[in-house]
């Protein structure tokens, strides 16, 4: 088998890329190559979705697949249905594998979930495999799936009181799970033995491996179809074109420094806000994200790895310029300044479970706040921007089997100059969605007593913020323990251009007929549940856009008729119109 030995850490910068050889490819052939690569990534996503055991992957879309450069490790393309936040993180994962694994051969598969080098929390398990065609390394394929449990002190991994990474689960550096086609059974057993519900973890692992193998096959077929030299030149030319497109769009924006500040409630240990201080500097076709002045590293699980901070900025850019394809070239004009001692640059052994689901969303909100100053006609009010991460573990006496239920929820999107925000949006700035309630009731000993729009939660304005949702779960049998890591409980999503704020999140637990509200708002753990106990989660509504006095009376009356606002609240929010 042909082997490849990496030459050290790989970076994503224009100066280090391999230039395209010869003249440009025929545009038709280039389009066909791009389509074929994209189809291969989409097929990996589909296989992972259809074969994963965990509802969060199969139904919630908490996963992604992509194809990456053989030398630089930069993203070539990602599946359309994958989580946008994994774009940068999988690129960093591939680059970390390139810089740490001595030899990679045909048939190898590397597994890694180390948050400090390739972003996100421990539950996001990443697989990376080299693709060889006729003995030549032509690409890497990679995927990520959120495993509902990887060990740790609480079921689901969302420990609100964690002060070390060890309390959140098993940390895996880049290791060969499969070497030259042979499974390392000892490594697999070591991993799975330290995780809850091992049969489900094996099912998710097999799903990721099968998807990866199909991606490898498809890339080989693409090389056979187009020829190795055409594929190499085409990949570099696609990156160059994306870079040119991004620089062109950035040059169309007014140069300057645009600042915005946002906050997270707390870290679950100290009840003080965490500040995200961002300055976006646009100059000569480049964009700098400067986080100088952000809060220092925190004790609790809200630390965010630098790679994840960068990935959040990539997602914001993709929203700003949706016509530019996902590709390493589009990321070349992007620069960062992330203080090494801040909570946006997590270092070992800081806990990180709240990074992807909470901190990243607030970083994106901060980016949008800065972007609104650079191009205000495209501004949005803030969205709900919390995943309301709920982890529950227990034993179902009806089946005599243990379970881990992980749920994240949607909420209201912010309004904009284009109209009202969406209600019950199942994802903020991502393709994730809420797993169907029927799946939860079928697979776990819970009854969904209520799943409805949250009345009065949308921020008022000329255009109304979208409504959040209310989820009420009742434990039917057995004993269980719950943990939650969420945010947005202190301050609701902010309105824009004079619009009002949406309602903040609210978490309640009714245990043995006693109401328990987390002291830290959205962060708590080890909440013991007995049959009949209930969990009530109310997610935020989106912020409003424009002055509430400018909202049409007919629109307000329609909102009341639909039950979005009750009459008393509507009169309080729109006093001039309803006077």
At 1 the pLDDT is 36
Assign residue 134 a region (left: φ > 0; alpha: ψ between -120 and 50; beta: otherwise).
Answer: left
Give strand pairing partners of 277. Answer: 261
Q: Is 50 exceeded by the pLDDT of residue 7?
A: no
Q: What is the CA radius of gyration of the chain?
A: 24
For residues 323, 327, 332, 338, the Cα torsion angle rounded to the nearest 10 degrees is 100
At 13 the pLDDT is 35
Res. 16 pLDDT band, cuts 50 70 90: very low
Q: What is the mean pLDDT of residues 233-238?
A: 96
User: How far is residue 360's CA from residue 342's CA, in Å, rounded to a whole number?
Assistant: 14
For tokens 């990180």, the residue is 352
Cis peptide before 248 (omega within 30 of 0): no
In percent, the amount of the chain with pLDDT more than 90 equals 87
Q: What is the pLDDT of residues 438-471, one digit of tens each?
A: 999 999 999 999 999 999 999 999 999 999 999 9
Instruction: Give, rounded to a whole angstrom, the gap between the first and last alpha carbons of the chain.
Output: 79
**Cβ(89)–Cβ(128) below 8 Å:** no
For tokens 């960068």, the residue is 310
Q: What is the pLDDT of residues 19-77, one digit of tens each?
A: 444 457 889 999 999 999 999 999 999 999 999 999 999 998 999 999 999 999 999 99
Q: Is 60 exceeded by the pLDDT of residue 5?
A: no
Q: What is the mean pLDDT of residues 509-513?
A: 97
Burial (CB < 10 A; 0-12, 13-18, 19+), residue 515, is exposed
The length of the chain in residues reads 579
At 87 the pLDDT is 76
pTM: 0.93
Strand 534-538 vs strand 469-475: parallel, antiparallel, or unpaired? antiparallel
Q: Is 60 exceeded by the pLDDT of residue 233?
A: yes
DSSP designation for 192: H
At 17 the pLDDT is 43
Assign residue 427 a region (left: φ > 0; alpha: ψ between -120 and 50; beta: otherwise).
Answer: beta
User: How far is residue 242's CA from residue 331's CA, in Å, rounded to a whole number?
Assistant: 9
Q: What is the mean pLDDT of residues 423-433?
A: 78
Q: Is 90 exceeded by the pLDDT of residue 579?
A: no
Provide CB contacts within 8 A for 138, sequence distance 6+: 70, 131, 132, 219, 220, 223, 228, 231, 232
**In 10 A of CB 227, how many CB atoms?**
12
User: How far is residue 108's CA from residue 125's CA, in Å, rounded to a whole number?
Assistant: 17
Res. 380 pLDDT band, cuts 50 70 90: confident
Q: Is 60 exceeded by the pLDDT of residue 103?
A: yes
At 23 the pLDDT is 53
At 483 the pLDDT is 98
Q: Is 60 exceeded by the pLDDT of residue 14?
A: no
**Cβ(443)–Cβ(531) below 8 Å:** no
Q: Is 50 exceeded by the pLDDT of residue 10?
A: no
For tokens 């080989």, the residue is 220
Res. 88 pLDDT band, cuts 50 70 90: confident
User: How far is residue 391's CA from residue 202's CA, in Å, rounded to a whole number?
Assistant: 20
User: How far is residue 43's CA from residue 61's CA, in Å, rounded to a whole number?
Assistant: 14
Q: Is 70 exceeded by the pLDDT of residue 4?
A: no
Q: What is the mean pLDDT of residues 195-223?
A: 98
User: How far is residue 579's CA from residue 568's CA, in Å, rounded to a whole number?
Assistant: 12
Q: What is the pLDDT of residues 520-547, one digit of tens each?
A: 999 999 999 999 999 999 999 999 999 9
Q: What is the pLDDT of residues 283-298, one digit of tens each?
A: 999 999 999 999 999 9
Q: What is the mean pLDDT of residues 476-489?
A: 98
Burial (CB < 10 A; 0-12, 13-18, 19+), residue 273, is middle
User: How far is residue 127's CA from residue 216's CA, in Å, rounded to a whole number?
Assistant: 12
Helix (H/G/I), strand (E/B), else coil: 269: coil
Mean pLDDT (the chain, rounded): 93
Q: Is the dihedral of CA 448, 521, 465, 416 positive or negative?
A: negative
Of 13 and 70, the structure prediction assigns the larger pLDDT to 70
For tokens 């109401």, the residue is 515
At 357 the pLDDT is 86
At 314 the pLDDT is 94
């Amino acid at each position: 088998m042909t082997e490849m030995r990496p030459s050290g850490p790989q970076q994503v910068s224009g100066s280090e890329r391999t230039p395209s050889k010869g003249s440009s490819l025929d545009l038709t052939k280039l389009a066909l190559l791009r389509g074929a690569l994209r189809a291969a990534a989409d097929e990996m996503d589909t296989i992972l979705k259809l074969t994963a055991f965990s509802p969060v992957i199969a139904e919630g879309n908490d996963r992604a697949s992509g194809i990456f450069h053989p030398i630089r490790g930069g993203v070539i393309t990602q599946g359309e249905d994958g989580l946008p936040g994994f774009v940068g993180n999988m690129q960093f994962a591939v680059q970390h594998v390139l810089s740490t694994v001595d030899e990679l051969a045909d048939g190898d598969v590397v597994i890694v979930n180390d948050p400090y080098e390739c972003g996100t929390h421990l539950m996001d398990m990443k697989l990376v495999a080299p693709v060889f065609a006729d003995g030549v390394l032509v690409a890497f394929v990679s995927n990520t799936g959120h495993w509902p449990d990887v060990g740790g002190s609480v079921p689901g991994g969302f420990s609100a009181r964690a002060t070390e990474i060890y309390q959140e689960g098993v940390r895996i550096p880049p290791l060969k799970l499969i070497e030259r086609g042979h499974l390392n059974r000892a490594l697999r057993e070591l991993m799975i033995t330290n995780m809850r519900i091992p049969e489900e973890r094996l099912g998710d692992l097999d799903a990721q491996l099968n998807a990866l193998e199909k991606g490898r096959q498809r890339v080989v077929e693409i090389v056979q179809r187009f020829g190795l030299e055409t594929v190499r030149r085409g990949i570099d030319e696609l990156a160059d074109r994306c870079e040119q497109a991004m620089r062109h769009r950035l040059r169309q924006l007014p140069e300057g420094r645009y600042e915005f500040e946002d906050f997270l409630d707390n870290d679950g240990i100290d009840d003080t806000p965490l500040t995200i201080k961002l300055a976006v500097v646009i100059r000569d076709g480049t964009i700098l994200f400067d986080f100088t002045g952000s809060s220092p590293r925190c004790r609790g699980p809200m630390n965010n790895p630098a790679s994840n901070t960068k990935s959040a900025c990539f997602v914001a850019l993709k929203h700003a310029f949706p016509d530019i394809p996902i590709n390493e070239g589009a990321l070349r004009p992007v620069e960062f300044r992330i203080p090494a001692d801040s909570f946006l640059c997590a270092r070992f052994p800081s806990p990180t479970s709240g990074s992807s689901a909470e901190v990243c969303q607030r970083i994106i909100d901060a980016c949008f706040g800065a972007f609104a100053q650079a191009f205000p006609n495209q501004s949005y009010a803030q969205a709900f921007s919390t995943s309301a991460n709920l982890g529950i573990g227990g034993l179902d006496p009806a089946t005599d089997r243990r379970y881990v239920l992980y749920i994240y929820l949607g909420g209201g999107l912010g309004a904009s100059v284009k109209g009202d925000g969406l209600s019950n949006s199942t994802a903020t700035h991502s393709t994730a969605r809420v797993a169907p309630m029927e799946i939860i009731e079928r697979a776990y000993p819970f009854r969904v007593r209520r799943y409805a729009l949250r009345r009065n939660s949308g921020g008022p304005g000329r255009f109304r913020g979208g409504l959040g949702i209310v989820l009420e779960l009742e434990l039917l049998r057995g004993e269980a323990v719950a943990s939650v890591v969420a945010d947005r409980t202190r301050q609701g999503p902010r309105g824009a251009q004079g619009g009002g704020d949406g309602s903040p999140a609210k978490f309640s637990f009714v245990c043995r007929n006693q109401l328990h509200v987390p002291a830290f708002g959205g962060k708590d753990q080890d909440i013991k549940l007995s049959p009949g106990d209930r969990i009530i989660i109310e997610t935020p509504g989106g912020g409003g856009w424009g002055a509430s006095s400018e909202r049409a009376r007919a629109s307000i009356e329609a909102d009341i008729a639909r039950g979005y606002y009750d009459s008393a609240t509507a009169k309080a929010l729109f006093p001039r119109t309803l006077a």
